[in-house]
Each structure stands twice: as structure tokens, then as C-alpha cells.
Structure 1
């Protein structure tokens, strides 16, 4: 499902593979995922600038010929250890939703709780995430203003 509201066959057969150990090569990745179907394309991401230029970024995308192959690979490979690290395997279309929820909730307990309690799939609606973030910001602002009052009272 893309974010314009219609299903896209290509995005449903494309996998995000994350938490890759830096020792894993493109060839090794293809070898690990090829038993589950025909790999149409593979995008292994590298740092393009900065001090890590030329090093792997720790994630990749694999495009299968069908969404069934992608779902099978996801089912079989998610959580499997590679070089001692559990792989994170999701449909690429799911990646954005989960990543945006994680990025907006780093260190935010209420949002993390809401994500877990959100829906049976563990994903929150956009409006629920926004509401949780607004509540957390309000709580932080109240905390900050009470800390300022306490500081002035101490002086």
C-alpha cells in the first residue's frame, strides 16, 4: 500500500532488510535471500559522504518478482541471525510507517506504549501518533514550566 491510498504491486514485493552487520556483502545478502524466490533487483546502500564514505549503511532493499515470494522471505528471514545480529525484514511499504513512528518517539514512553497498544498489527494510525506526541510535548512543557517556577522559588 503506498501513501497515496492505492496498492502498488512493486512495493509489495520489495523488502527492506535492516540491522545488517557491516561484514555482510551484497553477494552474501543475495545468497541468503535467493532461496525464497526470483530476485529482480537489489539495492545495497553505502555511505556516499562523510567519514564513513564507502562503508555499508547497514540496510538494503531486495525486489522479488512476486509479492508472495517477498512475504515468504520476510516470514523466513525476519529475526534470523546473520553475523550474530538479528535481521530486520519488512515489506518496504511497511518500513516508512514503522520508521516514522520510531523516529518521532525516541525517548517518548507514552508514544511507545501507544504503539504497542495501538492496533492488532502493532501500528498506530497517523492521528493517534500525532495525538500521543502532542500529549508528550504538553507534558514536557508543563514539566519545564514547573521546573522554572521551582528554580525561581529557590532563589
Structure 2
């Protein structure tokens, strides 16, 4: 006898999940949580922060809220969408809406075409880079690595220009004497 483990259905989990965006940077997690709790019983609340970079520790400008049932989620979406919080209107959408638009952009074979959102210029640049890499692979015998330095340290052009001006015998500026 084998024990069966129920597999969570992604659609049922996402039915009550909302994406709340366009958050003012001054909105705190606590304030937003209180606003969302007024609309219904929250099951889960994810307020996102930047993990790295210049904005590390600062809010990312959006969050996710999961309600207990779909009616509460719909009511919250209707009430909060375009609602002004501090200086910005909230944007509230279903969290799984992006997944639906991704499915529509798939081709007949089921794969997303990698160039579907690229411009013609970037496609030609990518093709040129790929051609260059192929030619480098074909002519790999012509490439050698040298571990000897081409010149001793400190002999670049800028260094040599500075040295020639410093090595010239120059006299400091002195004001001519009045007679």
C-alpha cells in the first residue's frame, strides 16, 4: 500500500492571490498589511525588498497578498485598485495574470520564441556575435595565450607622457621684478 501525497493545484492556490504594485517608497509593510486586512482575511502576505545593489533593503514597489477565498480577493481588488496611498494610486491585479499572457505568446510547438520581443537591430547584433564566435572556434589554432607581460608595469602611454614632462628641467614660475 502506497501513501499518496496530494499535489497542490497551482490554479487554486493562485485564485486568491493578488499582486499589488505602484507602491510609494514611503509605504511601510505594517501600513500596507493593515490596509489589506481591512478587505478580508489574509492567508499570506509577501512584501518584497531589494536583495542587492544600490537599493538593498529598500522596498521593491510591489507585494503579493493571498486571501482565504476568491470573493475576498475580488472585493479587495475592486476596492484597492486605483486607490491613492500616500502619493501613488495602487495597481491591483491577479498574481497569475502574467503567466496567462506568457502562455499566449507561445508558438504552436509550445516553446516561447527567443526573439519575439527583440528588435531587428538586436537580432542582427546577436547574429554577428554568433558568427564571430563560430569563426574563432574554427580558427582556434591561430590563437595563443602569452603569460609574459607585454611591457613592464608602469610603462603605459599615460605613464610615459607624465614621466617626460616631470623629467624636463623646468623652473618654477617667478614674477619678474619691477625696476
Deviation of 1:16 after TM superposition, in Å, equals 0.5
TM (norm. structure 1) is 0.60
Residues 8-27 of structure 1 mapped to structure 2, 5 A cutoff: 8-27=11-30
Are 2:62 and 1:88 equivalent residues in the alignment? no
Partner of residue 104, structure 2: 125
Per-residue CA deviations over 1:81-121 (Å, capped at 9, x if unaligned) read 111111110111114446x6xxxxxxxxxxxxxxxxxxxxx
Say how many residue pairs are matched. Answer: 111
- 2:32 corresponds to 1:32: no
Q: Where does 1:3-152 land on structure 2 (aligned, <5 Å)?
A: 8-97=11-100, 125-126=104-105, 137=119
TM-score when scaled to structure 2?
0.52
Considering only aligned residues, what root-mean-square deviation do their CA atoms show, in Å? 2.8
For 1:36, what is the secondary structure of its paired residue? coil
Query: For residues 136 and 43 of structure 1, what CA distance do their matches in structure 2 show?
Result: 32
Instruction: Write 1 or 2 for the structure with the bigger share of helix.
Output: 1
Any runs of at least 4 consecutive aligned residues in structure 1 with deviations exceeding 6 A, and if so which? none
Q: 1:134 to 1:16 in 2, by over 3 A?
A: closer
Q: Where do 5+ consecutive residues of structure 2 fail to align?
A: 1-8, 124-179
